[in-house]
Amino acid sequence: MAEINKAPRGTNDVTPEQSYKWQFVEQKLIETAGLYGFKEIRVPVFEHTEVFIKNVGDTTDVVQKEMYTFTDKGDRSITLRPEFTAGVMRSIVEHSLTAGALPVKVCYLGGCYRYEKPQAGRLREFHQFGVECIGAASPIADAEVIAMANQLLSDIGIKKISLEINSIGCPTCRAEYHKALKAYFEGKKEELCGTCNERLERNPMRILDCKSPVCSAIAKEAPVVTDFLCDDCKAHFEAVKSYLSAMNVEYTVNPRIVRGLDYYNRTVFEFVSGDIGAQSTVCGGGRYDGLLGNMGGQDQPGLGFAMGVERLLMVLESQNVEIPSGKPCDIYIAPMGDAAALKAAVLCSQLREEGFEALTDIVGRGLKAQMRYANKIGARFTLVLGDSEIESGKAKLKCMENGEETEVDINALPDALYSATFAALADSINI
Ligand code: ATP
Ligand code: MG
What mean pLDDT is predicted for residues 216-228?
92
Cα 21 to middle of ligand 1, angstroms? 20
Ligand nearest to the CA of 260: 1
**pLDDT value of position 201:** 86
344 band by pLDDT with thresholds 50, 70 and 90: very high
Does the CB atom of residue 209 touch ligand 1 within 6 A? no
CA nearest 257: which of 169, 182, 180, 194? 169
Cα 342 to middle of ligand 1, angstroms? 53
**In a 3-state reduction of DSSP, which class is residue 163?**
strand
What mean pLDDT is predicted for residues 116-144?
97
Q: Are strands 104-113 and 39-40 parallel, antiparallel or unpaired?
A: parallel
431 band by pLDDT with thresholds 50, 70 and 90: low
Angle at 220 between CA 219 and CA 221, to 5 degrees: 90
Cα 102 to middle of ligand 1, angstroms? 29
Cα 264 to middle of ligand 2, angstroms? 15
- CA distances to 151, 351, 360, 382, 412 from 374, rounded to whole Å, are 40, 17, 9, 7, 22
Asked whether the whole model's pTM tops 0.85, one would answer yes
Residue of the nearest CA to atom 28 in ligand 1?
122
**pLDDT value of position 260:** 65
Does the CB atom of residue 55 touch ligand 1 within 6 A? no
Q: What is the pLDDT of residues 377-396, one digit of tens each?
A: 999 999 999 999 999 999 99
Residue 369, pLDDT > 70, answer yes
Tell whether domain 331-423 is in CATH 3.30.565.10: no
Residue 127, pLDDT > 80, answer yes
CA nearest 139: which of 31, 289, 253? 289
What is the average pLDDT value for the chain, to the nearest integer?
Answer: 94
Residue 69, pLDDT > 70, answer yes
- For ligand 1, what atom is nearest to the CA of residue 307? 15
201 compared with 302, residue with greater pLDDT:
302
What mean pLDDT is predicted for residues 326-352?
95
60 compared with 151, residue with greater pLDDT:
151
Among 61, 62, 81, 126, say which to mutate for ligand 1: greatest number of ligand atoms within 8 Å of CB: 126
Residue 326, pLDDT > 80, answer no
Residue 3, pLDDT > 90, answer no
Contacts 24+ apart (CB under 8 A), 90-99: 90/43, 90/47, 90/51, 90/55, 90/295, 91/41, 91/43, 92/132, 92/134, 92/292, 92/297, 93/292, 93/295, 93/296, 93/297, 97/134, 98/134, 98/135, 98/292, 98/297, 98/298, 98/300, 99/298
CA nearest 56: which of 280, 259, 198, 281? 259
Residue 88, pLDDT > 70, answer yes
Does the CB atom of residue 66 touch ligand 1 within 6 A? no
Among 11, 62, 115, 281, say which to mutate for ligand 1: greatest number of ligand atoms within 8 Å of CB: 281
Q: What is the pLDDT of residues 404-424, one digit of tens each?
A: 999 999 999 999 999 998 888
Percent of the chain with pLDDT over 90: 82
Among 66, 254, 279, say which to mutate for ligand 1: greatest number of ligand atoms within 8 Å of CB: 279
Cα 113 to middle of ligand 1, angstroms? 11
Domain ranges of the chain: 16-170+230-318, 331-423
Compute how many other C-beta atoms are within 10 angstroms of the C-beta atom of residue 108: 23
Does the CB atom of residue 29 touch ligand 1 within 6 A? no
> Following CA atoms 333, 335, 341, 347 in sequence, which dihedral angle do they give, to the nearest 10 degrees?
-30
CA nearest 304: which of 254, 252, 269, 279? 269
Residue of the nearest CA to atom 29 in ligand 1?
122
Residue 324, pLDDT > 80, answer yes
Ligand nearest to the CA of 273: 1
Class of 16-170+230-318 in CATH = alpha beta
Is 208 exposed, middle or buried (CB count within 10 Å of its CB: 0-12, 13-18, 19+)? buried
**pLDDT value of position 333:** 98
What mean pLDDT is predicted for residues 80-96?
97
Cα 262 to middle of ligand 2, angstroms? 13
Does the CB atom of residue 206 touch ligand 1 within 6 A? no
| First-to-last C-alpha distance (Å) of the chain | 63
Cβ atoms of residues 230 and 170 within 8 Å: yes
